Amino acid sequence: MDYRRFGEHYVIRLDKGEEIISRLRELAEAEGIALASLTGIGAVSRVVAGVFDTREKAFKGRTWTGDLEIVSIGGNISRMDGHTYTHFHISVADESGRVFGGHLQEAVISGTGELVLTRLEGEVDRRYDSEIGLNLFRFL
């Protein structure tokens, strides 16, 4: 990973073999980022993503492998219990143009990742909501 900061924007290059979530978490912790938004594109060889089943209160994920282009990645970084909390969604396309995605659990770069992380002023925490089964924004 390499990156440069321009004002409140971090322009990030992820390299082959790097996992997106873990690298962004490392960057947020190193730079003291408590709140940010994410956008980006790139190429991945493995993606684990899916949907949250609100009835069962469980994540249902799928794994896709092969040559996949990131059509879009977006989401946010916040805090929960004093720790960095990432929440990203991803859409990827295969060579036939079929698009897959959902809530991102893992994505490994195959070529490069070109991401922009924008630091936001302030701090938003999260709290687990047992009725819904998710960690929801809690405004301080």
pLDDT digits (tens, 9 = 90+) for 59-104: 999 999 999 999 999 999 999 999 999 999 999 999 999 999 999 9
How many other C-beta atoms are found inside a 10 Å radius of the C-beta of residue 88?
A: 19
pLDDT value at residue 82: 95
* pLDDT beyond 90 at 140: no
Burial group, residue 44, by CB count within 10 angstroms (0-12, 13-18, 19+): buried
* pLDDT beyond 90 at 51: yes
Measured CA to CA, the distance from residue 126 to residue 50 in angstroms comes to: 21
For the chain, the first-to-last Cα distance in angstroms comes to: 32
Q: What is the mean pLDDT of the chain?
A: 97
Amino acid of residue 114: E
Q: How many residues does the chain have?
A: 140
Mean pLDDT in residue range 4-30: 98
pTM of the model: 0.95
Mean pLDDT in residue range 28-35: 98
